Amino acid sequence: MTTKQLVHKATVSVHPEPPFSFVGTVHKPSNFPTTDRMYKGNEYWQSFNWNDTAYGIKMIDVGTFETPNISLEIYSDLETDIGHHVDEIVQEIEFRFDLKSDYSPFLEGFATDPIVGSAIKKWNGMRVSSPYSLYEFLLVTTVLQNTTVKRSFQMMSNLFERFGSKILFDGRELSTFWSAKSVHVVGEEELRELKVGYRAKTLKRQAGEFVGGKIDEFQLRTMAATELKTNLLDIYGVGPASVQYLMFEKFHQYHICDRIPPWEQKIYSRLLFDKELVGEQQLLDEIERRWGEWKMLAMHYLFENLFWLRKTNNIEWLEALILL
DNA sequence: CATCAGGGCCCTG
DNA sequence: CAGGGCCCTGAT
């Protein structure tokens, strides 16, 4: 696999809505690691596909909690690419990282909440963000299905190896995602060789839905929650669990939570009830009672805070759930 | 050795 | 609406 060097650069200042947590926004400790992005200190890098071109994105935190400021660097192979697309790339980054939303009613309203209060204190201003396009996000939800974290990671690596490529910018080498087209033209059998099992059919069908124009991410973004959900469920391979991830992380519908998948169920059972396993409906009732319209955001703050704690503390029950 | 469930979803009856 | 089947792997 050859590595493409991206030598041209444009720099733009981006100003998120205060308050803002850079780390909490660009780095999600709960996500399994992939080679398309990396975070260190006050800097963040990722590959970024836009209009069939592989860009490199670097964000540097040069602001403060109250006066957020990100120095956004866009790297490209061709100078003209940056010139023509810089504005739309900035807009897209602002959307994916949810930089312009106002979380203050939640952050202020629950600052002293007995359960989520300490997570808010630590992560105040953390956004619901996903670095991925809808196509890329669906790859993740597909490899997550009906398996363990370890195998999901293996499937993702195999896909990167087969379809992705590499870029080098700012001294960092990162994997890039691929187009739906490149998967669409490949036979299902060839996909199965990547150890994705029955998901080969899903990967191929989803790629086809993008290529054929059935899925339009930008149109989906204009829809209200109910219509959005219906349309997402209409995508082959998207069921109740995946649609919950999509609605929240990708489309930032942080007032909605009508499903808590098994793995999260175990984790929230501990966080909310200090029990090994509480019924899904009981958990749903509890989060509604405690946080109402902000319930999914509250859950996210709890979740990421827990995985951050894991870095310095040994949380035995959590390790057991991750090793599965 | 066999059996089974794991961060679901589709399809059938 | 319930339930079988699906790829593969590690745990038992």
Q: pLDDT tens, A73-96?
A: 999 998 887 888 999 999 999 999
- Between CA A280 and C1' B1 the distance (Å) reads 37
Nucleotides on chain C within 7 angstroms of protein Cβ? 6-11
Footprint of strand C on the protein (CB under 7 A): A 146-148, 150-151, 192, 195, 197-198, 201, 323
Nucleotide nearest to A241 (CA to C1'): B8
What is the per-residue pLDDT for A323?
66
- Between CA A258 and C1' B13 the distance (Å) reads 28
Residue A53 DSSP SS3:
strand
pLDDT bucket at A32, cuts 50 / 70 / 90 = confident
Chain-centroid distance of CA A295 in Å reads 18
A262 CB-to-strand B distance under 7 Å: yes
Sign of the alpha-carbon dihedral angle for A264, A265, A271, A276: negative
d(CA A302, CA A313): 16
A32 CB-to-strand B distance under 7 Å: yes
A291 close to A298: Cβ distance less than 8 angstroms: yes
Nucleotide nearest to A153 (CA to C1'): B7
- Between CA A240 and C1' B9 the distance (Å) reads 9
What is the per-residue pLDDT for A83?
83
Helix axes A134-144, A199-211, angle to 10 degrees: 170
Mean pLDDT confidence for A111-136? 97
Taking alpha carbons only, the member of A134, A153, A135 closest to residue A143 is A153
Chain-centroid distance of CA A291 in Å reads 23
Neighbouring C-alpha atoms within 13 Å toward the C-beta of A84: 9
A78 close to A50: Cβ distance less than 8 angstroms: no
In this structure, the strands spanning A53-61 and A43-50 are: antiparallel
What is the per-residue pLDDT for A321?
82
Q: What is the DSSP letter of A247?
A: I
A324 CB-to-strand B distance under 7 Å: yes
Mean pLDDT confidence for A218-240? 96
- Between CA A133 and C1' B5 the distance (Å) reads 32
- Residues A108, A248, A173: CA angle, nearest 5 degrees: 105
The residue that minimises its CA distance to C1' of C6 is: A198
Nucleotides on chain B within 7 angstroms of protein Cβ? 6-10
Mean pLDDT confidence for A156-179? 96
Mean pLDDT confidence for A2-27? 97
- φ, ψ for residue A36 (rounded to 5)? -90, -5
